[in-house]
Amino acid sequence: MADVIQLLPENVANQIAAGEVVQRPSSVVKELLENAVDAGATQVKLIVRDAGKTLIQVIDNGCGMSETDARMSFERHATSKIRDAKDLFAIKTMGFRGEALASIAAVAQVEMRTRRSIDELGVRLAVEDSTVKIQEACQTPQGTSIAVKNLFYNVPARRNFLKADPVEMRHIMDGFQRVAMANCDVFFNFYQNETEIFHLPAGNLRQRLVKIFGEAANKKLVPVHEETDVLKITGFVGKPDYFKKTRGEQLFFVNKRFIKSNYLHHAVVAAYEDMLPADQHPLYVLFMDIDPSSIDINVHPTKQEIKFDDERLVYNYLKVTVRHALGSHNITPTLDFEQEPAFQSTPTRSSIRPDTGEPRVGDHRPSRSLGDDKRQADNLRNWQRLYEGMGLAVSRIEGEAYEDDATVATPLPEIGVQTSVEVLEMDDVNAQFSKTQKEPYQIHGQYIISHIKSGYFLIDQQSASERILYERYLEALGNQPIAIQKALFPKTIELAPADAALLREILDEVNFLGFEIAEFGGNTFVVHGTPADLGANVQEEILLEKVLAQYKGNLEMELSTSDNLARSMARNASLRRGQILTVQEMAEMIDQLFACSVPFNSPSGRKCFIQYDLEALRKLFD
């Protein structure tokens, strides 16, 4: 038999390599932006059409390329950034593998214009299927413009694999924001179709983060700065009350390179100790500068993972640094705790002492020391435990106050125990119940017990409320808009650019849910009205932000806009655990729940109720 092994043609080899580097439009965005930064640009413009599926263009004012370099740049393993193997251990640029442009040109139609300052004329190249189709002199400003068109046009399987536009757009925005954060001294702007969605003038990191996360972030950022011979850590962490439900605003950069690391994430979370509720994540943007020779960035094609020589040292140092930053800005648990409005207005509660013999919270506000911090952290822990025991601490962090103190102090209603003992012999227990005994009642501010003929339902009030609202919102989006409560004074709100872009996209739908929101230009919106049934004192901004965050979090599920929005809104407008209900309210809720088309589960899949049969209960006592 003849020999069978052949070398792959160049374009096929490139396509295979592209599989690793170019996973989706956002990978192209990242590579092009990093090249612009590596080229020393001070101004970088990103233009994206159809979530990058038809066009991704990056225009920079960096060093540009000579004609030969421009042509070379599309070859595999062609890089100006390293020369030999030892350079691999001293990498200061974002790129170095010389693969990006070659990979991109294997799976898209690429057009490049570039000119160095010393050249009068620039060069224009058109590359398709790894082949240069056009190469000619052209007039062009100093710097480089690269347009990537019709990504995966020649790899249908991969093109079909791309997600819906909002999902791809989300990835692109994440990628853009990461590069922008790591390079505050560069002016970036970002056009989605014809709209400028980010405009980020050169500035310091705080300014940049505020532009990206929105004005509200400004007061929530605690600076971090610590430096030793081997490692420097700078950046910001969010105050403990600035949690994020979704992970995504937790970013590490090592030598300006964004990396993912659960291990380091854990270090930061550990620094927050008990300040963090279970399902929430702190915001952080942290930069570590470390001698390039003590890390290996070449462990992953997209370079999002790196290896440290001494990972444990980095872990410990990071934890201590963040802890210190939180401490030195008085963001210690007890201070925060004292300011919690829910607790301020409840004197009875603050006079309950945890049984550790610790001084009362209100009693000590003296100068702080590390020992103090520790004690106060312990103190908070004890308090939390106390309330957790009562099933009441669940919503503390969200700042949801319990309605009044009386409800907290009231002993739990006695759950018909006596009755059942007395009527043990009777056949139809139910018939003996008086009207009040059949009324639903609430336990622990979380569950509702509702009698039915054969036993009772135990209803989870939050899940039930979510289910009811979800179906109502779906109906609203199907053309039965929810009533609007007009505001006396319209309120303008300013959103983070990514949120604003999203809201613009789904604004019509949002307005079906009882909002009356209008675009005001830029990232500003005017709220003329809010859903009537949410009451007058909704905090539009907070509700909207939460709904948008949830919506983004749901994107990966690829739901329809209506479904996603109805879920997100139901989730955030629903009754919470800990909310005390009147008999009337409970009865209404039960009616509404069982009028739902699917009363069994909340849209996120939690059970709404469990049924208990008397027969089964009786057996339990045998």
Binding footprint of Mg ion on the chain (CB under 5 A): 35, 95, 100
Report the sign of the C-alpha dihedral through residues 132, 136, 137, 142, in that order: negative
CB 574 within 8 A of CB 462: yes
261 binds ligand ADP (CB under 6 A): no
In the complex with Mg ion, which residue's Cβ is closer, 95 or 122? Answer: 95
Nearest-10 crossing angle of helices 561-573, 461-477: 140
Q: Which of 17, 18, 39, 181 binds ligand ADP (CB under 6 A)?
A: 39
Q: Tell me the residue nearest to ligand ADP as measured from the CB.
A: 95
Could you tell me the smallest distance in angstroms from the CB atom of residue 27 to Mg ion?
11
35 binds ligand ADP (CB under 6 A): yes
> Rounded to an integer, what distance in angstroms lies between the CA atom of residue 506 and that of residue 417?
51
Which is nearest to 522 in space by CA: 503, 494, 543?
Answer: 494
Nearest-10 crossing angle of helices 205-213, 165-182: 170
> Rounded to an integer, what distance in angstroms lies between the CA atom of residue 376 and that of residue 382?
10
The site partner of 380 among Mg ion, ligand ADP, none (C-beta below 5 to 8 Å per kind) is none
In the complex with Mg ion, which residue's Cβ is closer, 93 or 419? Answer: 93
Cα torsion 415, 419, 424, 430 to 10°: value is -90
Subset of 419-438 contacting ligand ADP (CB under 6 A): none
In the complex with Mg ion, which residue's Cβ is closer, 58 or 217? Answer: 58
Could you tell me the smallest distance in angstroms from the CB atom of residue 143 to Mg ion?
15
Subset of 56-115 contacting ligand ADP (CB under 6 A): 60, 62-65, 73, 78-81, 95-102
Could you tell me the smallest distance in angstroms from the CB atom of residue 79 to ligand ADP?
3
In the complex with ligand ADP, which residue's Cβ is closer, 69 or 563? Answer: 69
Could you tell me the smallest distance in angstroms from the CB atom of residue 114 to ligand ADP?
6
Could you tell me the smallest distance in angstroms from the CB atom of residue 260 to ligand ADP?
20
In the complex with Mg ion, which residue's Cβ is closer, 82 or 559? Answer: 82
Q: Tell me the residue nearest to Mg ion as measured from the CB.
A: 95
- Which helix or strand (DSSP H or E) is residue 243 part of? strand 243-244
CB 233 within 8 A of CB 286: yes
The site partner of 78 among Mg ion, ligand ADP, none (C-beta below 5 to 8 Å per kind) is ligand ADP
457 binds ligand ADP (CB under 6 A): no
> Rounded to an integer, what distance in angstroms lies between the CA atom of residue 570 and that of residue 426?
43
In the complex with ligand ADP, which residue's Cβ is closer, 62 or 327? Answer: 62
The site partner of 140 among Mg ion, ligand ADP, none (C-beta below 5 to 8 Å per kind) is none
Could you tell me the smallest distance in angstroms from the CB atom of residue 249 to ligand ADP?
27
The site partner of 308 among Mg ion, ligand ADP, none (C-beta below 5 to 8 Å per kind) is none
Size of the residue set binding ligand ADP (CB under 6 A) = 23
Polymer length in residues for the chain: 622
290 binds ligand ADP (CB under 6 A): no
Could you tell me the smallest distance in angstroms from the CB atom of residue 301 to ligand ADP?
11
31 binds ligand ADP (CB under 6 A): yes
At residue 69, the 3 state secondary structure works out as helix
In the complex with ligand ADP, which residue's Cβ is closer, 304 or 485? Answer: 304
In the complex with ligand ADP, which residue's Cβ is closer, 32 or 608? Answer: 32
Residue 518 makes CB contacts below 8 A (sequence gap 6+) with 525, 526, 528
Burial class (CB in 10 A: 0-12, 13-18, 19+), 462: buried
CB 559 within 8 A of CB 551: no
Span from 32-40, 351-359, 515-523, 556-564 in contact with ligand ADP (CB under 6 A): 32-40
- One-letter amino acid at 565 equals L
In the complex with Mg ion, which residue's Cβ is closer, 35 or 568? Answer: 35
In the complex with ligand ADP, which residue's Cβ is closer, 25 or 95? Answer: 95
Cα–Cα distance list, 549 to 108, 216, 243, 246, 479 (Å): 32, 15, 12, 7, 24
In the complex with Mg ion, which residue's Cβ is closer, 38 or 373? Answer: 38
Could you tell me the smallest distance in angstroms from the CB atom of residue 98 to Mg ion?
7
Could you tell me the smallest distance in angstroms from the CB atom of residue 36 to Mg ion?
9
CB 158 within 8 A of CB 46: no
Could you tell me the smallest distance in angstroms from the CB atom of residue 383 to ligand ADP?
53
Subset of 105-164 contacting ligand ADP (CB under 6 A): 144
Report the sign of the C-alpha dihedral through residues 92, 93, 98, 103, in that order: positive
> Rounded to an integer, what distance in angstroms lies between the CA atom of residue 565 and that of residue 561?
6
Antiparallel, parallel or unpaired: β 221-227 and 195-200: unpaired
At residue 218, the 3 state secondary structure works out as helix
Q: Note the Cα 111 to chain centre separation in Å.
A: 34
For binding to ligand ADP (CB under 6 A), which residues are involved?
Answer: 31, 35-36, 39, 60, 62-65, 73, 78-81, 95-102, 144
